[in-house]
Amino acid sequence: MSEYVVDLSGIRKTYRGGVEALKGIDLQVPEGCIYGLLGPNGAGKSTMVKILTTLIKKSGGTGTMLGRPLGDRTALQQVGLLPEHAQFPDYLTGRQVIEFTAGLQNVPTAETKQRTDELLDLVQMTEAQQRKIKSYSKGMKQRIGIAQALVNDPKIVFLDEPTDGVDPAGRRDFRVLMKKLREEGRTIFINTHILSELEPIVDRVAIISEGQLRGEGVLDDLRASTPEYSIEFEGTLSIEAANAMKAEAIKVESGLITVSTSYATEVQPVIDQLRQENLVIVKIERRTQSLEDLFIDLIDSTKAATPPPIPS
Amino acid sequence: MKPYLTILLDSFRMLRSKAIFWVSLIITLLVAVLYLSLGFDEKGVTLFFGLTSFETELIRKGTPSAERLYLGIFTNYIAEIWLAWIAVLLGLISCGSLFPNAMKEGSAGMLLTKKPSRFGVFLAKFVGSLFFVAIQVILFVLVVLIALRWRVGEWNFSIFWYVPLVLLVFTYLYSFMVLIAVKTRSVMTALILTLVLWGISSIVGSIEGSLYQFTQTDTSVVEISPSKENNEFEDLEDSQATDRWYTRVKAIYGFLPKTGRTMEIADRLLVVNGKRGYNRGSMLDIMMGNVSQEESAMAEATTLAANRHSVSYAIGTSSLFALVMLSLAAWLFCRRDY
């Protein structure tokens, strides 16, 4: 049995008409982590989630989910899903939506009531539970969507664009909730294009573009460039000091010095030099490559590597 | 079992949420109450719960002809028009969106990623759709049962045959509608094509019925008119040509759902004056003054024409049509990507 909750090898999907949405994806998702699947529009992210949740049949490749072959209904009983553009029946109340999913997943009736109460509390929808879905805001619907995805006490939760249309306060609550779910030992698979939402909470990411995996792993390992310290100051640095710094590959500009290093101790001589020349240090900042930078770098490198079309 | 009951419960909730469900339920009850308002007294027939009446010696309270007339109004007009056409049409309109809505991107994700298999979901959704027609027809027949008890004086439980028969008619058409809906995901396309099928089926059924009567009459003319010696050969040729046309039309009709024939089966199952079988022609007999228990030649001819297809042929071939349509729809529903 695979040690991963999701273990995919060479997953391909070709739609009718020959459009290749996935061109052989290998992916391993460890248990109990927050896993981010990133990619531009049309990259194949949703296709991937749909294959995992049986909404789409793969054209090729093999894979397991929770130790069972893809498509196994027993495995699906331990899976929660909030699909992209989730549409809940508007004649149901928020509570009924959660109970509906519980019924579909064969959750015992007594357990359903208790879990529904807990989940409504968790997503802060207890007060609005008896209102019809059609009266909910987008953010409220997403909260109910997350709650229904958890009603069967799933081992793995797929969230496809979960913060789409959610206000900033709702997004903060979402991040807190994701961390809580991870602490409970669940694996959370988030499919999103809002990178800033993912960066503070994600353990591992996979970046796909044009149906192919461009990078996968722990975020810090994926970051290609070394962190850098930037020091902003007022005044003019002496030419001798500037030349000495440049000789040590330190970037010196007007009012700004940038030191590429992971270690703060290597920045101390620069600060000492500025103090010695009585220059006023305005700001010192440690900068790492953001997830957005990483994402754009990977996508750009893909585009650069793709040969231009041959003119007919 | 619970997941399938959940889908059925959801279908019921969906129907309950639709205005058309309540509107058609109210109209159904109004039609039933209107029927209930018709009665008989010692002088003749009363209308609108006795608000108005007209005297007749032929049809009075307690006479066998009263029961035949009362059942005749039900079978010839109310069941024929309301149950067989309008209730089924309202059912198709109401349930038309059920499959296309379930197949929308966000909805399919909610429904098809859970424990029940796709085939199970398909069947549960289909059975759930039958609720709409079942509820309407059961309520309607209940009021008619009360009306018959009140007006004619007996509990005629044989009218409950209308419930499975109307459901069968709905199933024939709805199975085709589901196939189109699953294929195109368009409610309007599915509804229009289903109405076209219904129209074609009814027209072919009428032509088949007319040709049947024509061939029967033509044959009898040839056989009983030896005086027409000069025209005998031509008559025989005409008769053979008509027979050929009848065979062709009957063959085509064999593949189509027999909505009209299925509803007519109810006539054979109804119990009137203690006897199984109701003849629609007998109502005409009563209106023309023939109130005897014996059927006229016209009534017998009507019975003969109505019984030209066996119950197993009418229901069997139509159910086969529905089964093929449903199988194709289920196959498409189960194998497609969402």
pLDDT band at A282 (very low <50, low <70, confident <90, very high): very high
Check CB contact under 8 Å for A92 and B107. Answer: no
Q: pLDDT tens digits for B2-49?
A: 999 999 999 888 888 888 888 888 888 888 889 989 888 888 888 888
**A90 to chain B, minimum CA–CA distance in Å?**
9
Alpha-carbon span B225 to B227, nearest angstrom: 5
Half-sphere exposure of B77 (CA within 13 A, CB side): 12
Q: Note the pLDDT of residue A215.
A: 85
Query: Which of these, B274, B49, B48, lies nearest to B155 by C-alpha position?
Result: B274
**Domain range list for chain B:** 2-335
Q: Note the pLDDT of residue B230.
A: 58
Residue A199 three-state SS: coil
ipTM score: 0.75
**B5 to chain A, minimum CA–CA distance in Å?**
8
Mean of pLDDT values over B253-263: 91
Residue-averaged pLDDT of chain A? 89
Check CB contact under 8 Å for A54 and B7. Answer: no
* β-sheet with A251-253: strand ranges across: A251-253, A256-260, A228-234, A280-287
Q: Note the pLDDT of residue B201.
A: 95
Alpha-carbon span B228 to B225, nearest angstrom: 6
**B283 to chain A, minimum CA–CA distance in Å?**
47
Check CB contact under 8 Å for B113 and A88. Answer: no
Instruction: Using an 8 Å CB-CB cutoff, list chain A residues near B115.
Output: 73, 76-77, 104-106
Compare all CA atoms of chain B with the CA of A15 and give the residue at the minimum distance. Answer: B337
Q: pLDDT tens digits for A136-163?
A: 998 899 999 999 999 999 999 999 988 8
CA of A223: how far to CAs of A43, A45, A288, A293, B11, in Å? Answer: 21, 21, 8, 9, 51
**A106 to chain B, minimum CA–CA distance in Å?**
6
Alpha-carbon span B44 to B88, nearest angstrom: 34
A181 neighbors A188 (Cβ within 8 angstroms): yes
Q: Output the CATH code of domain A6-222.
A: 3.40.50.300
Check CB contact under 8 Å for B3 and A106. Answer: yes
B208 neighbors B249 (Cβ within 8 angstroms): yes
pLDDT higher than threshold 60 for residue B200: yes
CA angle, residues B257, B262, B265, in degrees to nearest 5: 160
Check CB contact under 8 Å for A103 and B5. Answer: yes
**B170 to chain A, minimum CA–CA distance in Å?**
25
Residue B306 three-state SS: helix
pLDDT band at A111 (very low <50, low <70, confident <90, very high): very high
CB-based contact, B20 to chain A, within 8 Å: no
Q: pLDDT tens digits for A25-53?
A: 999 999 999 999 988 888 899 999 999 99
pLDDT higher than threshold 60 for residue A186: yes
Amino acid at B278: Y
Q: Note the pLDDT of residue B131.
A: 84
Interface test with A, best of B105, B110, B119 (most A CBs within 10 A): B110
Q: Note the pLDDT of residue B78.
A: 85
Q: Note the pLDDT of residue B221.
A: 46
B270 neighbors B276 (Cβ within 8 angstroms): yes
Check CB contact under 8 Å for A103 and B104. Answer: no
Alpha-carbon span B268 to B264, nearest angstrom: 7
pLDDT band at A225 (very low <50, low <70, confident <90, very high): low
Alpha-carbon span B195 to A238, nearest angstrom: 90
Of A161-165, A272-276, A294-298, B262-266, where does the model show the most confidence? A272-276
pLDDT higher than threshold 90 for residue B195: yes
CB-based contact, B120 to chain A, within 8 Å: no
Tell me the count of A-B CB pairs closer than 8 A.
85
Topology (CATH level 3) of domain A228-287: Alpha-Beta Plaits (3.30.70)
**Domain range list for chain A:** 6-222, 228-287
Residue A311 DSSP code: P
Alpha-carbon span A174 to A154, nearest angstrom: 18
Alpha-carbon span A157 to A151, nearest angstrom: 11
Compare all CA atoms of chain A with the CA of B3 and give the residue at the minimum distance. Answer: A104
Check CB contact under 8 Å for B110 and A105. Answer: no
pLDDT higher than threshold 50 for residue A62: yes
Residue-averaged pLDDT of chain B? 84
* Interface residues from chain A to B (CB-CB < 8 Å): 15, 50, 53-57, 73, 76-77, 79, 81, 83-92, 96, 100-101, 103-106, 148, 160
